[in-house]
Structure formats: structure tokens, C-alpha cells
Structure 1
Amino acid sequence: MLDTTPLTTAVERIADRLRVAPQSRLQRGAAAEGLALARELARRAQRVESPGEEPMTMPDAGVFAVADQLAVAGTDLAESLRMTAASTRELDEAVEFVAEAGERLRALL
């Protein structure tokens, strides 16, 4: 099984930053960036779990919920990768994607 710790650590770090961000920063783009990241991670998890099926889109639950949505999506993807025959390439790509989103978010927070 894959060690998905790098993915969950990176996601939790970003989620924690979003949880403590002021409402004004969330509304100026940080929440939208966080939601985009959560949606992509959820999409990837669904593709791992149900290849060939069209993934559902994570709803927008508001600026104060985005950190939790991100944490859940990241955990779901990590668990999906860990429990399936996923390749290390898929994990590495997810970690890289999260790191890039984290850089964009850093500029917004």
C-alpha cells in the first residue's frame, strides 16, 4: 500500500490556513481557490474509486466550510489511492497539484 502521508499533510496544512483566515481574505479569493482544490481532489478520488463514471461536483458550501471540504476531499483521495492499486505516479501528481495550489493560496492569504 502507498504511504499517503505527504498528501494528507499538505492538504491539512492548507486547510488549517483556511480555517484561521479572516473572512475578508476568504471572500477575496482564498475560499474560491480552496474550493477549486477540494473539487479537483474529490474528482480524482472518484476517478480512482469508479473509473469510467462521470465524477460529481462538490457543492459550494460557503467560505467558512471550504477548509473542511478540502480536508475531507484530501482524506478521501488519500484513502482511495491507498486502498486501490494506485501508482506512486498518481500520488506524486496529487501532492504536486496540492503544492501548486498551496502556493497560489499563500499569495491570497
Structure 2
Amino acid sequence: MTEVTELLTAVDRLADRLRAMPQSALTQGAAAQGLALARELARRAQRLEAPDAEPRLMPEAGVFMVADQLAVAGHDLAEILRRTSGGADQAAEALRLVTETARGIGPGTR
């Protein structure tokens, strides 16, 4: 089993940060960055669960839903990685993506 606590913590912090942002910050790019990350995490989770299937694209549900989309995608990936033997490298890579996105969105995100 793979340890995913750091990944979950980073995902939850970024989702909380997005939830607290004003609409102006979300529409100026924060929501787009959050959605891109959510889509990437969801794609990775789908690839692990069904390697032969084409991943489905997470829909755009609006700027106020991005935080929830990120949380769901991040938690789904973490759960799959937790059950995956040898998933530590993938968990570390996902954590890196979350951390980089948080830095790109603005101060107070880590």
C-alpha cells in the first residue's frame, strides 16, 4: 500500500484555497488552473483503473465548482494509489503537480 497523506493534504489545501477565492480571482485564471489540474489527476486515476480505456474528460462545471472537482479527482487518485503496490512514485509526481499548481495560483497556497 502506498502512503498518500501528503497528496491528500495538498489537494485539500488547494481546494480550500480555491473555495475561499473571490470570483474575480477565479475568473482571472485560478479556476482554469484548478480545472486543468483536476482533469490531469482524473486522467491519471482513470489510466490506473482502466489502462485500456480512453479517459473521459472532466467537464467544465463553472468557476465555483472547480474546488470540488479538484477534491474529488485528487481523492479518487489517492485512493487508487493507496491500493497500488509501487504507487509511491506516482503519488510523488501527483503531489508535485498539485504543489506547482498551488504556487502558480497565488500566495497562501501550498
TM-score (norm 1): 0.94
| Contact in 1 for aligned 2:31/2:63 (Cα 8 Å) | yes
Is 49-58 or 14-23 further displaced after alignment?
49-58
2:18 matched residue in structure 1:
18
Quote how far apart the aligned CAs of 1:54 are.
1.0
Deviates more, 1:14-23 or 1:79-88: 79-88
Task: Write out per-residue CA displacement over residues 6-44 of structure 1, whole angstroms, 9 at most, x where no aligned residue.
Answer: 101000010000001000110111000000000000001
Counterparts of 1:1-109 in structure 2, within 5 Å, are 1-106=1-106
The list of structure 1 runs, each at least 4 consecutive aligned residues, that deviate by more than 4 angstroms after superposition, is: none
Q: State the percentage of identical aligned residues.
A: 59
Deviation at 1:86, TM superposition (A): 4.1
Amino acid at match of 2:40: E
Moved more, 87-96 or 68-77: 87-96
Structure 2: where are the runs of 5+ without partners? none
In 1, the alpha carbon distance for the partners of 2:12 and 2:99 equals 12
Q: Structure 1 residues 99 and 47, CA, compared in 2 at 3 Å: closer, same or farther?
A: same
Q: How many residues are treated as equivalent by the alignment?
A: 108
Describe the superposition over 1:21-72 as per-residue Cα deviations: whole angstroms up to 9, x where unpaired.
Answer: 0001101110000000000000010011111211000000000000000000
1:84 is displaced (CA, Å) by 2.5
Distance 1:55 1:97 in 2: 19
Consecutive unaligned residues of structure 1, counting only runs of 5 or more, are none
TM-score by length of structure 2 reads: 0.93
